[in-house]
Amino acid sequence: MKIPAAKADSFSKSPDSSIKAILVYGPDEGLVMERSQNLLHTVVEDAQDPFRVVNLDNDALKKELSLLSDEAAAISMMGGRRVIRIRSASDALTQVISDYFSNPVGDALIILEGGDLPGRSKLRKVFETEIMAAAIACYKDDEKSLPGLIRQTIENEGFSLSNDALGFLVANLGTDRRLTRRELQKLCLYKGINSSPISLEDAQACIGDTATLTLDDLAIAVGTGNIQKLEKNLLRAQQENQNAITILRAVTRHFQRLHLTAGLVAQGVPMDKAVSTLRPPLFWKVADPFKVQARKWTPRALAKSLSMLLETEANCKKTGAPAETLCARTLLEITANAPTRRRS
């Protein structure tokens, strides 16, 4: 049975009693975890209960094909229904699951957590068509679902928020449900005992798009000549699934803004006035390092770096070399030659 997106949250909190196994999958890992936890708590209060919660992995299930049925049929020593939890589920488990459905012994609730399984996934098809199973897709929150999630989370903490703050939060959250909730909780802690509605200024001071902030930090590291921070943020950007083109363009935008600012300063325009011409305005957290870079980088050096960045992007699209390698090599070269870099 395929659970519609509009009913996914309510189903995960109160699944049909006839359902014996549920596949929770999708690109939003935080939402997969949240809904899996909700399902588990419909059966067991304590997710760490060693008598009623069993965690299995793919390798163990593939080695011992009867393991799933054996665990499903087992009776808890302390009584009560059991939960069998299988993480990182993939199509490799299709046969194991199909065998179980052919003889669904026991009353355990089986929960499988999967990644972004494609439409052609055999495992998905089994859960979507089997009458005693359910499949719940977990896609990233968007502009339709995010406002409700934000308001609900904020109100549950005893706060309200302005429309401007809501708009900012919608624009800067949503890549991962778990991260979104964590950021909103951080915002509520920041607000403290202040009973006034959360304002745009509150939201801006406390929260930023994590992916954007990573790319901002990476670009600042390149302009500052900080190789260690470049490597750290490059790795983080890749872990956030930012591809080489996206990374290069983020650094290119930063250097274009530096080039514009440095050019105005070279013509005698005061730094603050030059920076004020930038659109969109500088995020306050990067304003100081940006101004330092704009003072130390010459327009000529910035133009050379921009040429390297644009050439690398073109090579990523037309050559056979790995784009990640080309991107990292260029960023490292620019960083190593930055006039702002501290040299021993």
Q: Is the dihedral of CA 155, 160, 163, 168 positive or negative?
A: negative
Query: At residue 198, what are phi and psi to the nearest 5 degrees?
Result: -65, 125
Which of 309, 216, 287 has the alpha carbon at shortest distance from 254? Answer: 216
Q: Is the pLDDT of residue 52 over 70?
A: yes
Which tens digits make up the pLDDT trace of 144-196?
889 999 999 999 999 999 998 998 888 778 768 888 898 899 899 988 888 89
As a whole number of angstroms, the distance between CA 31 and CA 10 comes to: 13
Residue 291 Cα to chain centre, angstroms: 30
The confidence score (pLDDT) of residue 31 equals: 94
3-state secondary structure of 50: coil
Alpha-carbon distance values, 246 to 109, 235, 289, 303 (Å) = 42, 14, 22, 20
Q: How do residues 300-314 score in pLDDT, each as one tens digit?
A: 999 999 999 999 999
Q: What angle do CA 229, 232, 236 make, to 5 degrees?
A: 135
Alpha-carbon Rg for the chain, nearest whole angstrom, is: 26
User: How large a percentage of the chain has pLDDT more than 70?
Assistant: 96
206-243, pLDDT tens digit by residue? 875 555 667 888 999 999 999 998 998 888 887 777 78
* 197-214: average pLDDT: 75
205 vs 31, more confident: 31
Assess contact for 22 and 133: CB atoms under 8 A: yes
Sign of the Cα torsion 239, 243, 246, 251 reads positive
| Tokens found for residue 161 | 């928020």
Cα–Cα distance for residue pair 321/93, rounded to 1 Å: 35
Q: What is the pLDDT of residue 319?
A: 66
> Which run of H or E residues covers position 168?
helix 163-172
pLDDT of residue 209: 52
Q: Look at residue 265 in the predicted model and tell me its pLDDT.
A: 92
Query: What pLDDT does residue 120 have?
Result: 94
Looking at residue 158, its pLDDT comes to: 93
Helix 94-102 / helix 122-129 crossing angle, nearest 10 deg:
20
Nearest to 118 by CA among 130, 128, 105: 128
**8 Å CB contact between 21 and 112:** yes
Sheet architecture: strand order including 109-114: 53-56, 83-89, 109-114, 21-25, 133-137
Phi first, then psi, for residue 133 (nearest 5°) are -125, 165
pLDDT bucket at 344, cuts 50 / 70 / 90:
very low
Residue 211's pLDDT is 54
Q: 339, 301 in Cβ contact below 8 A?
A: yes
Nearest to 1 by CA among 125, 141, 142, 123: 125
Average pLDDT score over residue span 193-201: 87
Query: H-helix or E-strand containing 56?
Result: strand 53-56
Q: What domains appear along the chain, each with residue ranges and CATH number?
A: 5-137 (3.40.50.300), 146-206 (1.10.8), 210-336 (1.20.272.10)
Instruction: Return the percentage of the chain with pLDDT > 90, whole number.
Output: 63
pLDDT digits (tens, 9 = 90+) for 83-140: 999 998 999 999 999 999 999 999 999 999 999 999 999 999 999 999 999 999 999 8
Show the tokens assigned to 223. Answer: 């302009």
Query: Residue 262 is encoded by which pair of tokens?
Result: 């440095």
Q: What is the mean pLDDT of the chain?
A: 90
The whole-angstrom separation of Cα 194 and Cα 287 is: 28
Quickly state the pLDDT bin for 294 (edges 50, 70, 90).
very high
E strand intervals along the chain: 21-25, 53-56, 83-89, 109-114, 133-137
